[in-house]
C-alpha cells in the first residue's frame, strides 16, 4: 500500500532549523529508503513561489502566491508499506526528531492512502 | 502514542524492525532459530507492555535490549551443564555487557542483515524453505501470512521454516558472509529467492486475495534493502529495476472483468510513472556499474516498453538485440521465442518465423502454449490464415489458464470463419 504524507508547520521557532536536524532528517530518509519503504520525497518552497488555480461557479481563477495559511505545507513523502500503522510509525519518527532537535517547532504530518491496483482488483 | 490499536502499532514496528533485530540477535547467539525465538519473546513482552506504557521512543532498540536480556536468561536457564554454560553466559555477558542495546542494533553497514539474508537463502536449503525463511526472518511476515500468500496450509509453512532452521543447525551453517570467491553464486541464490517471491505475487495479480500480489511489494522491499547493503553489485540494481518496471504495469495487466490484458494492448496511462522512473534510474545504476547480467538485461528489455509512450514507439531493434545478448548469457528456448517476437516486430513476420521454426523441435517447448500462439500470430500476419488458425487451436488446447484459452479460441475462430 502506498501512502502520501504531507508535513505542515503549525509553529515555527525564531531560530533556523539546526544543522543536527537536517542531518537527522537525512539519516532517517536514508534509513527509510534502505528499509525499502520510502519511494520519493521532497521539500516544498514557500507559497510565494506557488500559485493556485480555482474553479468556482464555472469560472477559473489563477492566483499567484503567497497565501496566508494557518499551516504551511513544507514537505511530502511517498511511502510503500503494509499498513497505515507503518506509515504512522515513520511519520512519528520524523516528528520525534523535530521535537528533539528543534525546540518550539510544532507541526503536523497528514497521512493519506494512495489508491493502488489493489483497489481495482 | 495515542490513537490506533496498540497491537497493530506493534505489528507495524515489528515489520520495520524484525529483520534488524533478528539479524543482530543471530550475531549474538550464533543461531537463526534461537535468534528468532528470542525476538518473538521480545515481541510478546511488547504486546503485554506497550498498550499500557506506550510505544517507546526507539522501539527497535527496546526490542533488541529486551531480546538480549532474554538471551542471557535463556543461556543461564539452560545451564544443565552448569559450569560450561555459565562460562558461555559469562562470556556472552562479558562480550556484550558494555554494549548497550542501541549499539547492538547499530549496524551501520547492515552487515548483520546481509549475513542473515545470505544464510536464509543458503543453497543448502530447499527453494521453498529459502522463500519461507526469508519472508519470515527478513520480511517480518507471520507464518499465516506466508501461507495465505503461497496458497498452502499454515502447518506446511511452519514445517518448511522448521526444517530449514534444522538444516542450518545440523549442517552447522555459520551466519556469515560468503568468502569473496563464492559471492557471485551465493548472491545469485539470494536474487533468485527475491525474484521467485516477486513472481509468485505477480502471477496472482488477477486473483481476488490481495495478500498474494502484495508479495510483489515484499519482494521489492527486500530488493531495495539489498541495494542499500550491496550498492556496488550491478545485478542487484538490475533485479530491482526489473521488479520496479514489472510492478509499474500491475494496474494495467487486467481488464474490468479480471481478464488478462496483453502488454501491447495495455492502457499505458495506467502504468505507474513513479515506479517507471525508479526502475529506469535503477537500470542506469546497473549499467554504470558493469556489464548487465540476466536480471539487468531483462530490466533493459522491460525498459524498452516503459520508455515507449505508445506501442508503436517501442524500440524493437534494441529489444531484438537485447534478447540475443540475454540468449547468450542465459540461454533458454523461451528467451529465443521472445526474440522471435521482437525480431518480427523489428524486421517483419517472415524473419520472426524463421526463428520460431527452429524452435519447434525444442523439447522444452513441446507443451508450451506460447509457441503455437506466437507461430499462429506470425502466420496470420503473413496471410497464412488456415495454418494460423490451427496454431491458435493448439495453443488453446495447451494452456491451463481459462481466460487465456478464451483469448486463443477467439483468435482461432476469427481466422477460420467457415469452421
Cβ atoms of B114 and B232 within 8 Å: the answer is no
Q: What is the pLDDT of residues B372-414, one digit of tens each?
A: 999 999 999 999 999 999 999 999 999 887 778 888 999 999 9
Instruction: Fill in the DSSP letter of residue B260.
Output: B
Query: Of the candidates B9, B250, B274, which has its C-beta nearest A117's C-beta?
Result: B250
Reported confidence tier of residue B160, pLDDT bands at 50, 70, 90: very high
Give B-chain residues touching A78 at CB under 8 angstroms: 274
Q: Residue A25 belongs to a domain with what CATH number? A: 3.30.70.1060
Cβ neighbours of B312 (radius 10 Å): 9
Across the interface, of B225, B250, B274, the residue whose CB is closest to A39 is B274
Give B110 to chain A, closest Cα distance, Å: 10
Mean pLDDT within B322-329 = 97
Instruction: Check whether B326 has a pLDDT greater than 80.
Output: yes
Are the C-beta atoms of residues B197 and B215 closer than 8 Å to each other? yes
Across residues A69-83, what is the average pLDDT? 92
Q: What is the pLDDT of residue A20?
A: 96
Predicted local confidence at residue A68, as pLDDT:
86
Query: What's the Rg (C-alpha) of chain B?
Result: 25
CA distance B335 to B246: 17
- Is the pLDDT at B96 greater than 50? The verdict is no
- Contact between chains at B205 and A117 (C-beta distance less than 8 A): yes
The DSSP bridge pattern shows strands A51-56 and A59-64 to be: antiparallel
**pLDDT score recorded for residue A116:** 84
Asked whether the beta carbons of B241 and B282 are under 8 A apart, the reply is: yes
The set of cell numbers assigned to B352 is 520472426
Test A89 with B220 for CB contact under 8 angstroms.
no
Q: Is A41 helix (H, G, I), strand (E, B) or coil?
A: strand
Grid coordinates standing for A31? 534509513
- A61 touches B at CB < 8 Å: no
State the pLDDT at residue B108: 57
Q: Pick B404 or B326 by higher pLDDT.
A: B326
> What span, in angstroms and rounded, lies between the C-alpha atoms of B307 and B302?
9
pLDDT in tens, A88-119: 999 999 999 999 999 999 999 999 999 987 77
Residue of B198, B379, B402 lying closest to B298 (CA atoms): B198
| pLDDT-based confidence at residue B100 (cuts at 50, 70, 90) | very low
A121 falls within a domain:
no
Contacts of A35 in chain B (CB under 8 A): 16, 221, 224-225
Q: In the predicted model, what is the mean pLDDT of residues B323-346?
A: 96
Q: Is A116 on the interface with B (CB under 8 A)?
A: yes
**B99, pLDDT greater than 50:** no
Residue B1 is predicted with a pLDDT of 44
**pLDDT over 70 for what percent of chain B?**
89
For residue A53, the SS3 value is strand
Using the Cβ of B214 and the Cβ atoms of chain A, whether some distance falls under 8 Å is answered with yes
- With beta carbons less than 8 A apart as the criterion, state whether A85 and B8 touch: yes
Residues in Cβ contact with B336 at an 8 Å cutoff, skipping those fewer than 6 apart: B323, B327, B355, B358, B359
Note down the domain range covering A16.
2-116
The 8-class DSSP code of residue A56 comes to E
Decide which of A106 and B54 is more confident.
A106
The DSSP result for B284-340, as a single string, is HHHHHHSS--HHHHHHHHHHHHHH-SSGGG--HHHHHHHHHHHHHHS--HHHHHHHH
Residues of chain B with Cβ-Cβ distance to A92 below 8 Å are 1
Q: What average pLDDT does the structure give for chain B?
A: 88
Q: Residue B84: pLDDT band by 50, 70, 90 thresholds?
A: low
Cβ contact B320:B337 at 8 Å: no
C-beta atoms of A86 and B16 within 8 A: yes
Surface of B (367-386) touching A: CB under 8 A = none
Look at A80 and B220 and tell me if their CB atoms are within 8 Å.
Answer: yes
Closest partner CB to A36 (pick from B8, B57, B222): B222
Q: What is the pLDDT of residue B290?
A: 93
Contacting residues of A for B16, CB less than 8 Å apart: 35, 37, 86, 89-90
* B16–A85 CB contact, under 8 Å: no
Size of interface A-B (CB pairs under 8 A): 76
Burial of B383 (0-12, 13-18, 19+ CB in 10 A): exposed
Beta strands, E only, chain A: 2-11, 38-43, 51-56, 59-64, 72-80, 106-114
The string of pLDDT tens digits covering residues A3-38 is: 999 999 999 999 999 999 999 999 999 999 989 999
Task: Provide the pLDDT for residue B59.
Answer: 85
Residue B217 to residue A80, Cβ atoms within 8 A:
yes
Is B419 a residue whose pLDDT tops 90?
Answer: no
pLDDT band at B72 (very low <50, low <70, confident <90, very high): confident
- Out of A33, A39, A116, name the one closest to residue B228 (CB): A33
Q: How confident is the model at residue B11 (pLDDT cuts 50, 70, 90)?
A: confident
Residue B4: Cβ-neighbour burial (10 angstroms; 0-12, 13-18, 19+): middle
Q: Closest chain A residue to B221 measured between Cα atoms?
A: A36
Neighbours of B297 (CB within 10 A): 24
pLDDT class of A69 with cuts at 50, 70, 90? confident
What's the rounded Cα separation, in Å, for the pair B406 and B289?
45
State yes or no: pLDDT of B354 exceeds 80.
yes
Overall domain count for chain A: 1
pLDDT at B93 over 60: no
pLDDT of B104:
52
Q: Give B235's pLDDT tier (boundaries 50, 70, 90).
A: very high
- All residues of chain B having their beta carbon less than 8 Å from the beta carbon of residue A86 are 12, 15-16
Q: Quick one: pLDDT at residue B45? A: 93
pLDDT at B292 over 90: yes
Q: Is the peptide bond before A66 cis (omega within 30 degrees of 0)?
A: yes
Amino acid at each position: 500500500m502506498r501512502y502520501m504524507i504531507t508535513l505542515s508547520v503549525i509553529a515555527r521557532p525564531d531560530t533556523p532549523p539546526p544543522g543536527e536536524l537536517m542531518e537527522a532528517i537525512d539519516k532517517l530518509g536514508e534509513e527509510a529508503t534502505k528499509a525499502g519503504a520510502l519511494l520519493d520525497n521532497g521539500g516544498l518552497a514557500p507559497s510565494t513561489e506557488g500559485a493556485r488555480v480555482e474553479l468556482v461557479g464555472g469560472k477559473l481563477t489563477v492566483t499567484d502566491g503567497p497565501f496566508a495559511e494557518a499551516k504551511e505545507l513544507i514537505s511530502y513523502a511517498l511511502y510503500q508499506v503494509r499498513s497505515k500503522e507503518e506509515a504512522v510509525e515513520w511519520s512519528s519518527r520524523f516528528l520525534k526528531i523535530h521535537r528533539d532537535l528543534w525546540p518550539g517547532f510544532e507541526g503536523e504530518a497528514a497521512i493519506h492512502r494512495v489508491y493502488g491496483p489493489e483497489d481495482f482488483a | 502514542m495515542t490513537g490506533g490499536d496498540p497491537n497493530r502499532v506493534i505489528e507495524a514496528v515489528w515489520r520495520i524492525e524484525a529483520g534488524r533485530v533478528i539479524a543482530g540477535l543471530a550475531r549474538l547467539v550464533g543461531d537463526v532459530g534461537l535468534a528468532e525465538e528470542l525476538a518473538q519473546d521480545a515481541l510478546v513482552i511488547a504486546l503485554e507492555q506497550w498498550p499500557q506504557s506506550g510505544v517507546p521512543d526507539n522501539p527497535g532498540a527496546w526490542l533488541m535490549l529486551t531480546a538480549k536480556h532474554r538471551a542471557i536468561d535463556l543461556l543461564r536457564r539452560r545451564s544443565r551443564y552448569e559450569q560450561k554454560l555459565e562460562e558461555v553466559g559469562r562470556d556472552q555477558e562479558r562480550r556484550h555487557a558494555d554494549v548497550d542495546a542501541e549499539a547492538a542494533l547499530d549496524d551501520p553497514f547492515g552487515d548483520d542483515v546481509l549475513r542473515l539474508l545470505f544464510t536464509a537463502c543458503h543453497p543448502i536449503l530447499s527453494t521453498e524453505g529459502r522463500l519461507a525463511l526469508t519472508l519470515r526472518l527478513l520480511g517480518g511476515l507471520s507464518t499465516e501470512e506466508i501461507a495465505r500468500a503461497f496458497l498452502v496450509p499454515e502447518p506446511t509453512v511452519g514445517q518448511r521454516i522448521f526444517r530449514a532452521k534444522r538444516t542450518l543447525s545440523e549442517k552447522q551453517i555459520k551466519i556469515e558472509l560468503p568468502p569473496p570467491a563464492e559471492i557471485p553464486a551465493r548472491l545469485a541464490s539470494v536474487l533468485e529467492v527475491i525474484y521467485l517471491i516477486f513472481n509468485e505475487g505477480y502471477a496472482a495479480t488477477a486473483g481476488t486475495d490481495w495478500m498474494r500480489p502484495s508479495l510483489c511489494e515484499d519482494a521489492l522491499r527486500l530488493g531495495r534493502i539489498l541495494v542499500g547493503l550491496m550498492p556496488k553489485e550491478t545485478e542487484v540494481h538490475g533485479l530491482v529495476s526489473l521488479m520496479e518496471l514489472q510492478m509499474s504495469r500491475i494496474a494495467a495487466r487486467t481488464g474490468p472483468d479480471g481478464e488478462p490484458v496483453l502488454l501491447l494492448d495495455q492502457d499505458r496511462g495506467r502504468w505507474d510513472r513513479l515506479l517507471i522512473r525508479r526502475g529506469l534510474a535503477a537500470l542506469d545504476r546497473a549499467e554504470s556499474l558493469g556489464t548487465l547480467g540476466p536480471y539487468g538485461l531483462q530490466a533493459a528489455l522491460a525498459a524498452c516498453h516503459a520508455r515507449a509512450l505508445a506501442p508503436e514507439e517501442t524500440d524493437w531493434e534494441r529489444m531484438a538485440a537485447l534478447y540475443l545478448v540475454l540468449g547468450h548469457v542465459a540461454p533458454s528456448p523461451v528467451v529465443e521465442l521472445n526474440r522471435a517476437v521482437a525480431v518480427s516486430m523489428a524486421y517483419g513476420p517472415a524473419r520472426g518465423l524463421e526463428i520460431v521454426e527452429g524452435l519447434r523441435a525444442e523439447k522444452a517447448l513441446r507443451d508450451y502454449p506460447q509457441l503455437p500462439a506466437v507461430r499462429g500470430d506470425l502466420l496470420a500476419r503473413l496471410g497464412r490464415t488456415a495454418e494460423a488458425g490451427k496454431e491458435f487451436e493448439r495453443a488453446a488446447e495447451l494452456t491451463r489458464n481459462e481466460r487465456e484459452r478464451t483469448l486463443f479460441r477467439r483468435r482461432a475462430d476469427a481466422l477460420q470463419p467457415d469452421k
